[in-house]
């Protein structure tokens, strides 16, 4: 079965600094051939006798056929695990599991797609853009960041997109503001049919709300939430839970890794992230500090 994930020892091809981020290319043919946009990989950090047991999760920026198949990841060096990754050199080996999670669903018809991205996780929209363009879709980018150095891929977006807009909080690149400020205008100008989002949770929430205002479907990747809360990436540890309401109206706690990372934006209860909503399936019926146990 080609849609099942694999575990592999991948060889580092290159690690480059790209603005405030690191881009790492790994030779991993089995993962490259199975990958679909929106899926992610889980990396073990710290080498063979590591004391760091949580895997690190990254969306895939690009898959290429060189060396039998490579995957490129973009990440920020924010903690000792990602610092270790940033310190890898060519020919180092890294234990990699993937591709994991549910991919973006692609439109059947060649429609107008708006791709909103921010932060290092936003790099994953380029793999999606590639698939959409091959289906004859129009691709419009909105890239966001706090400042110019955090906007990944603006030149690539200009090159491959039918349009691209950049928005930064300090105005150091593109417009000054947030995604929420520019999204309505871009949707109107481009005649968007569907909105995709990749990046920080705040951005995904804005994307979902604006898309909802226009009556458009949205699909978002909650990879950043997964990075903050997850441990295994394969669906066994049950730590990356977020509240999602289903078609039956029932809210369930679902795993960002195995049930996501791509979710319908309008299904996620953004305001309740990091909580168990009282009406969620299995929510505690009586509030008690002792309920739960250490397990």
Partner 1 sequence: MSDRVTTTLGPLELPNPVLTASGCGGTGRELAPFFDLTRLGAFVTTSVMAQARAGRPTPRVTETPSGLLTAMGLPGPGVETFLEHDLPWLMEQEVRTIVSVAGNSVEEYGELARRLRHVPGVAAIEVNIACPNVEDRGRMFAWHPSAAASVVRAVRDHARPGVPIFAKLAPDVTDIVTIALACVDAGADGLTLINTMEAMAIDPETLRPALTGVSGGLSGPAVRPVAIRCVYQVHAALPSTPVIGVGGIATGLDALEFILAGASAVAVGTALFHDPTAGPRVLRELEEALAARRISRLADAVGLAHKPAGYVPPQVRPQEPEKEKL
34 vs 61, beta carbon nearer partner 1: 34
295 binds partner 1 (CB under 8 A): yes
55 binds partner 1 (CB under 8 A): yes
Residue 178 assigned as binding residue: no
Q: Which of 10, 32, 253, 263 binds partner 1 (CB under 8 A)?
A: 253
Stretch that binds partner 1, among 66-74, 126-134, 263-271, 272-280 (CB under 8 A): 272-280
Helix H segments across the chain?
Answer: 29-34, 80-86, 125-134, 154-160, 179-190, 201-213, 223-229
Q: In sequence order, which residues have a C-beta less than 8 Å from that of residue 46 and are 6 or more positions away?
A: 52, 81, 84
- Residue 208: CB minimum distance to partner 1, A: 19
Give the C-alpha separation, 123 to 152, whole Å. 6
Stretch that binds partner 1, among 15-23, 53-61, 119-127, 198-206 (CB under 8 A): 53-61
Residues in 169-188 at the binding interface with partner 1, rule: CB under 8 A: none
2 binds partner 1 (CB under 8 A): no
Burial 203-239 (b: 16+ CB within 10 A, else e): bbbbbbebbeeeebebbbbbbbbbbebbbbbbeeeee
- Residue 255: CB minimum distance to partner 1, A: 9
Determine the angle formed by the axes of helices 179-190 and 201-213, rounding to 10 degrees: 40
Residue pair 113/196 in contact by the 8 Å Cβ criterion: yes
Mark residues 197-236: x for contact with partner 1 by CB under 8 A, - for none: -------------------------------xxxxx-xxx
Residues in 114-153 at the binding interface with partner 1, rule: CB under 8 A: none
Residue 81 assigned as binding residue: yes
111 vs 237, beta carbon nearer partner 1: 237
Give the C-alpha separation, 40 to 18, whole Å. 20
Stretch that binds partner 1, among 11-19, 21-29, 47-55, 135-143 (CB under 8 A): 47-55
Q: In sequence order, which residues have a C-beta less than 8 Å from that of residue 74 and are 6 or more positions away?
A: 18, 21, 22, 23, 24, 58, 61, 120, 121, 123, 152
- Residue 27: CB minimum distance to partner 1, A: 20
Q: Which of 7, 14, 17, 158 binds partner 1 (CB under 8 A)?
A: 7
Residue pair 169/176 in contact by the 8 Å Cβ criterion: yes
282 binds partner 1 (CB under 8 A): yes
Structure tokens at 157: 């977006």
Give the C-alpha separation, 250 to 267, whole Å. 11
Give the C-alpha separation, 256 to 254, whole Å. 6
262 binds partner 1 (CB under 8 A): no
Residue 198 assigned as binding residue: no
293 binds partner 1 (CB under 8 A): yes
275 binds partner 1 (CB under 8 A): yes
Give the C-alpha separation, 127 to 31, whole Å. 14
Q: Which residues are annotated as a binding site for FAD?
A: 81-82
Binding site for partner 1 (CB under 8 A): 1, 4-7, 44, 51-55, 81, 95, 97, 228-232, 234-242, 253, 258, 273-276, 280-284, 288-295
């Amino acid at each position: 079965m080609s849609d099942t994930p694999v575990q592999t020892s991948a060889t580092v091809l290159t690690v480059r600094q790209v603005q405030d981020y690191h881009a790492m290319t790994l030779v991993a043919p089995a993962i490259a051939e199975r990958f679909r946009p929106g899926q992610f990989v889980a990396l073990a950090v710290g080498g063979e006798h590591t004391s760091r047991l949580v895997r690190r999760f990254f969306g895939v920026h690009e898959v290429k056929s060189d060396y039998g198949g490579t995957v490129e990841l973009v990440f920020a060096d924010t903690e000792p695990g990602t610092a270790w990754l940033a310190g890898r050199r060519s020919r180092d080996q890294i234990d990699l599991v993937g591709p994991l999670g549910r991919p973006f669903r692609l439109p059947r018809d060649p429609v107008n797609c708006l791709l909103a991205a921010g932060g290092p996780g936003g790099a994953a929209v380029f793999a999606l853009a590639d698939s959409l363009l091959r289906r004859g879709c129009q691709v419009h980018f909105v890239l966001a960041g706090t400042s110019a150095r955090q906007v990944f891929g603006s030149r690539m977006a200009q090159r491959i997109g039918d349009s691209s807009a950049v928005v930064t909080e300090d105005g150091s690149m593109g417009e000054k503001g947030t995604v929420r400020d520019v999204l309505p205008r871009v949707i109107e100008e481009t005649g968007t049919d569907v909105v995709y989002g990749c990046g920080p949770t705040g951005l995904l929430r804005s994307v979902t709300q604006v898309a909802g205002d226009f009556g458009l479907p949205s699909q978002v990747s909650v990879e950043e939430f997964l990075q903050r809360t997850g441990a295994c990436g394969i669906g066994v540890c049950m730590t990356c839970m977020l509240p999602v309401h289903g078609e039956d109206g029932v809210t369930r706690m679902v795993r960002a890794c195995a049930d996501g990372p791509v979710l319908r934006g309008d299904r996620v209860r953004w305001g309740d992230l990091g909580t168990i909503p009282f009406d969620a399936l299995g929510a505690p019926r009586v509030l008690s500090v002792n309920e739960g146990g250490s397990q």
